[in-house]
Amino acid sequence: MRIAFLAAPEGVEQVELTDPWQAAEDAGHEPVLVSTKPGKIQAFHHLDKADTFAVDDVVGQVSAESFGALVLPGGVANPDFLRMDDKAVAFVKDFFDRGLPVAAICHAPWTLVEADVVRGRVLTSWPSLRTDIVNAGGTWVDEQVRVCDHGPNKLVTSRKPDDLKAFCETFVEVFGRADG
């Protein structure tokens, strides 16, 4: 299965991109880096610049139809940039409209809030997003990983980098069932 990994040109938390990417590859999936601009993205280790990664596809030039699932890595700046980009928000919403599975970690649910897809769903995130999720009609829980079955698609969420092992194991399992 082709899995879109959506990241802004700057601000993605590197480990929240690389660990899920590796988990997807190890499970036999094809991860594809999608961004709002061509070229490379700049990852971060919290507030410090880390590695750069080559962009494979650009939002507005691809749709959810080209993929079987979506992963939204966090970092504070990454989802903040994405939620301000109409094409990125539409790209995310398209996965929900098509009933495709989505996984989001840490601050990434900010983009889900902007896409207006959390209403009626139970999810987790970095604790500072709790009020935003509740105000958008979602239910926030403080759990290592949460799978929400509301609607036709599955939504896998986790709180922080310490949850990456559980996040990766869970989304790989959920995406694998969707691919079957």
- Residues annotated as catalytic are 107
Distance CA(116)–CA(62), nearest Å, equals 20
| Contact criterion met (CB below 8 Å) for 138 and 120 | yes
Output the CA angle 51-24-163, nearest 5 degrees: 75
> C-alpha 131: how far from its chain's center?
19
| Residues whose CB falls within 8 Å of the CB of residue 165, separated by 6 or more in sequence, listed in order | none
